[in-house]
Structure 1
Amino acid sequence: MNLPNWTREPLVHFLAAGTLVFAWFAWQGEPLDPTDRVIDIDREMQAQIALGFERMMNRPPTDAELDGLIDQYVREEVLYREALRLGFDRDDAVVRRRMAQKMDMAATASVETAQPSDADLRKWYEEHPERFATEVEYSFDQLWFETEGEAQSTLARLRGSADWRQYGGVISLPASLERKSRRDVLANFGEQFVAGLDQLEQQEQWQGPVPSGLGWHLVRLHARTPGKVPPLNAIREEVLNDWRTATIAERKERAYQLLRDAYRVDIAR
């Protein structure tokens, strides 16, 4: 029998387990009370504490270290239960946010170490080439002017002049750039300039004016080289990380929607 996809969600398993625990205590006649005064450190709990130490330190704890870890656990548990008993968790934005984050983590834990098949990874790579393409590169000359009017009046004279460097104002910007990445151009000229640069034709004629946060520019765009997508084998780890990040975000949203559908939200108008 094929089960629906939602039954395979880790968050569904998490919630189902919680429901079973609650039902067990209810059947036994014992309330599920987080502020219970008995803290039971059984062998299984001690093993979990020791395992946590071993994962961090790459060795098992000594007997003295384990005793210290258990004392630390007891201290945290006492303070946690007393905080719950006093209602410190209510109306606390930090606690509320942390609990919501833990629910998100429960929904996406299985994806953190998931390995897609080669076919799935190649499909992701082919469907999202823009995520892995190298940056666009630009080669151009530019002249800076303080006002748009100055730039406009100079444009006609430039088209009949071979010595273009005699025009324009003095500013600490390069007059010429050769095969510079979009990131480099952004760093020097800003977003407004790059947006205008993308609107220009690639040609040997001066164009503009192009605005920037510094003033106005006349530009001669020699080349605009589109970014290239490297072969999958060359960027496999990058593609894998991108797939995992996107899959975590998708899993988180699907898990939330599964829970959200069970609620009715009334917003006063």
Structure 2
Amino acid sequence: MTQDTASPTPTPPPTLAPAGALWDVHQPVGRRSLLLAAIGALLGLGIAGYGLFTAQGTRTASIPAEDAALVNAIPVLRADLIAQVTALYSVPYAQTTRSQRQKVLDDMVREELYVQRGVEMGLSNDDIDVRQALVQATEGQIAQDAATAKPAEDELRGWYTAHRAKYASEGLMTLHEWRVPAGADPQRAVAALRSGTAPDALGLKTTGRVDDGEEFYFAAHEHLGTRVFAVARGLADGAISNPIPSPDGVHIVQMIRNTRPVATPYPEARDQVLRDFLADKIARLQEGNKRFLKKRADIKIAADLQ
């Protein structure tokens, strides 16, 4: 006896809701719920992100108009900046340059960093209640760290060798600087001067830059400029230079007397070498400490002062 088996009824394929029914609130549509949930999540993330990156204490937060900067949320007042810039440069704030304002602001930020660092080190306001004292105490700690490490003798000798000119007597020179007339042959003028011909007979005129008699090397350098001074310092007493082309014509230097610097021997200069070595070390440590404090700090600068 055979038994008839009924074939299973096929499941109809799912039908998609018409496009117009997606937003019909009277019809339950699963896709609409998913879309609304996704839109809500995106809006929430956008609002949270805006709040995160504009909240006070973040680097993108705006700076109040009365502040020039914020250092770890501590304000550097614009009024204090204006007062310091005016006092330092002795001109109204509006007449100072952008670089001058930035330099003063950088010093004020550094001061605030040092004050905060001083508090971290335990220099409380109960003992030191003046900002400058906090700054000096922080700098003093750095100087103490540098001074406690006694430099080796070869380090001092290396410093002396690298800065030998600093430990020499100041050179002196007495000279004339002549300008060759337009159209004249500079080489013939030099040859005539070396043979003893008077400058007036050659039509040479002084530039007026070194006519005050004996000059220290640093003063002669300032008056003559780097190029002409480099030629002059190499001349012996009574020597005449070769023609020196310059923006205002061809010049000739006539050296009357050149007293060159004399280096101070290391044993005599050692005490000064030690002071200079330590001062340079302290300056480098302070600069490194400043970079470290800036790197870890949250510093915001007003847009007009950046």
**TM-score, reference length from structure 2:** 0.41
